[in-house]
Amino acid sequence: MPETQTAVAVRELTLSEAVKEAIAEEMRRDPTVFILGEDVAEAGHPFKVLVGLVDEFGKERVLDTPISEPGFTGLAVGAAMTGMRPIVDIMFGDFMGLTMDQIFNQAAKIHYMSGGKWKVPMVVRTTMGATRRSAAQHSQSLHAWFAHIPGLKVALPSTPYDMKGLLKTAIRDDNPVIIFEDKMEYKRKGPVPEEEYLIPFGVADIKREGTDITLIATSSMVHVALGAARLLDEYDVSAEVVDPRTLWPLDEKTLIESAKKTSRVIVIDEGYERYGVTAEIASTIATGAFYDLEAPVKRMGAMQVPIPFSPPLEDVTVPTDKSVFEAAMALCGQTV
Amino acid sequence: MSTVVDRSKMTREEIDRCLHMYRQMIKIRSFEDQANQLYLRALMPGLTHLYAGEEAVAVGVCEALRPDDYVTSTHRGHGHCVAKGAALDRMFAELLGKRAGYCKGKGGSMHIADPDTGNLGANAIVGGSTPIATGAAFSAKRLGNGRVAVCFFGDGALGQGVLYESMNMAAIWKLPVIYVCENNLYNEYTPMQEVTAGDIQTRGPAFGVPSNRVDGQDVQAVYRAAKEMIDRARRGDGPGYLVADTYRYHGHHIGDINREYYRSKAEEAKWRERDPIKLFSDWMISNGLVNKAAVEKIDVDVRAEVEAAVDFAVKAPYPTPDEVDQDIYA
């Protein structure tokens, strides 16, 4: 038996633990790395993602800030320009609106405006994802805003393995990187090797191979797509699930190759459909695989409404295993 | 202007500092005069915001800084760049969008940045640089390199909340940053007092940040006040907030010619009577630091330097279109 097939008990971590391990490893490796945000130290973040970090690194490197998102995001921009590598924690993606000037006018543009002289090596970690019954100001998935802006990189890890590898890459990147973590996924477990690894940006991951239809999905929608794929199996429809992992840089090649192979594509993302990530990727597929497609690219995203509070209302706003399954069957000309 | 001094009691260093401050102020004035000419001759793309009239603020503050200290600047930023030591030829080249400019022509007048002189960049978002300067001070403290950051902003930035967020953080973490408010009395085209409540000097003390208010037309007063705050910050005793009352001779931008609807010609003439350069040269001459001929020689030398810099910039090549998507990512 080849050595690579030797059964090794692979360690499992939650997505939350993967976040913390990535940050801790990078803070041990590089003394200029630090994290700042609201309730990050003793509180360990409201979602408890950072519990224990302050014990190892102290309050100077795990820095509780005032509730001043524009201020401490901008402070991170200045610190990043002058020798530190800050990780900014913005508790809810909905609060990113407060930080916008510092992110899209400052962090994203300083390298370019200065003719390449100043660099802004900072990471902003924030959350996305609905169905937590948190209503309209704590539930949005706004990652498309940032993928729109030249100068920013945007990552959406869907598994603990990807989370750790992408976050470590982000911390070492010399550019501003925005990482969106789905708050509903923090407890999801998955294999994470003990040994160090990095995941390069701009490399999509085929989460499941298939031949009849491609489901391109981001963040938690990867798991929705995998659930739909299992339902499709029962009807002998073989679905391939592709996770771009980073919205920018975007691995167009892998997405187009999968589309060419299966000839049918659904793009699933928890952001709004209108002018969103699904539109961008659908356009990429339409341009790159037009003559190989058997059907128009289908897009599935958050319903075009503010996220409602009441469960029966909120639940219909996001794609589910079932809705993706039904859309895939329809796209393949099959009846359930 | 500062009181009479006994020249014989001044050290060589003090006299040299005065001469240097004079030279820097006249350099800024000449730079702005030439920038105005470049605009009028239609050689400069876009617009610019001239610093003429406010020279004593940038020069007085930067004279108290080390070369490796940081500054952040504003849309009205040429004075800060020059005072921090930028080369005039590369500044003009940037104003004209040339490749030899500080930002390879990608930034223009409102975004000149230069790591070599600690210039973190001019910023076209009013108040946008206030947390950035605070972050540079944060690095300085963490890295223990003894640097200080100065954040220049206008009275318009007093309306931006991020300034107060920044002051709050600088105070709680005792960061070596000095917030310098250049109060030129106008938020663009609106009188500052119409849109600004209370005493503007009290913004600092509200956060426990020591503050001072000086005559921004008196370069020595600015220098002394800035020096005290900068030394204090460098000792590890935290931030400072300095208000300098000053005046912009030109409009909000270079094309803002008809401005009587927001300020009178009489007011402009009154402020020109207290020209910071004239006040300082008169003081130096009357106190025997230099004679009139020596001052005039500085003027002539600087003018020649500025004209040579303009000539360099006018003749310098533009970037080629293929450079447009370079420098987006590091």
> Would you call B113 an interface residue with chain A, using a CB distance cutoff of 8 Å?
yes
> Would you call A118 an interface residue with chain B, using a CB distance cutoff of 8 Å?
yes
pLDDT one-digit tens code per residue, A98-125: 999 999 999 999 999 999 999 999 999 9
What is the location of CATH 3.40.50.970 in chain A? 11-191
Buried b (16+ CB within 10 A) or exposed e, B98-132: bbbbbbbbbbbbbbbbbbebbbbbbbbbbbbbbbb
Question: B132 and A111 in contact by Cβ < 8 A?
Answer: no
- Please name the helix (run of DSSP H) or strand (run of DSSP E) that holds residue A181, with its range, or none: strand A177-182
Per cent of chain A over pLDDT 70 is 98
> Would you call B68 an interface residue with chain A, using a CB distance cutoff of 8 Å?
no
Q: How many residues does chain B have?
A: 330
Give pLDDT, residue B300. 97
Look up residue B26 and give its amino acid: I
- d(CA A177, CA A26) in angstroms, rounded, equals 15
User: Which tokens is A76 given?
Assistant: 């991170």
> Would you call B88 an interface residue with chain A, using a CB distance cutoff of 8 Å?
no
The residues near B147 (Cβ < 8 Å, ≥ 6 apart) are: B66, B68, B69, B70, B118, B136, B137, B140, B176
Distance between A83 CA and the closest CA of chain B, angstroms: 6
Q: Are B60 and B25 in contact (CB under 8 A)?
A: no
Quote ipTM for the complex. Answer: 0.96
**What is the band of B2 on the pLDDT scale with cuts at 50, 70, 90?**
low
User: Which tokens is A68 given?
Assistant: 């001043």
Give pLDDT, residue B9. 86
Question: A115 and B102 in contact by Cβ < 8 A?
Answer: yes
With CA atoms as reference, the chain A residue closest to B126 would be A101
Distance between A117 CA and the closest CA of chain B, angstroms: 7
Beta bridge partners of B50: none
Question: A81 and B136 in contact by Cβ < 8 A?
Answer: yes
Note if the pTM is more than 0.80: yes
Fold for the domain defined by A11-191: Rossmann fold (3.40.50)
Question: A117 and B101 in contact by Cβ < 8 A?
Answer: no
Residue ranges of domains in chain B, CATH in brackets: 8-315 (3.40.50.970)
User: DSSP alpha helices (H): ranges in A82-159?
Assistant: 96-100, 108-113, 143-147
- Would you say residue B169 has pLDDT above 60? yes
- A45, A111, A138, A223: the catalytic one is A138
**What is the band of A336 on the pLDDT scale with cuts at 50, 70, 90?**
confident
Question: B165 and A71 in contact by Cβ < 8 A?
Answer: yes
pLDDT one-digit tens code per residue, A51-72: 999 999 999 999 999 999 999 9
- Would you say residue A176 has pLDDT above 50? yes
Mark which residues 53-72 of A lie under 8 Å from B by CB.
Answer: 60, 65-66, 68, 70-72
Tell me the CATH class for A205-331: alpha beta
Give pLDDT, residue A8. 65
What is the location of CATH 3.40.50.920 in chain A? 205-331
A138: annotated active-site residue: yes
- Please name the helix (run of DSSP H) or strand (run of DSSP E) that holds residue B304, with its range, or none: helix B292-315
Q: Give B138's contacts in chain A (Cβ within 8 Å).
A: 75, 78-79, 84
pLDDT one-digit tens code per residue, B60-106: 999 999 999 999 999 999 999 999 999 999 999 999 999 999 999 99
- Would you say residue A266 has pLDDT above 80? yes
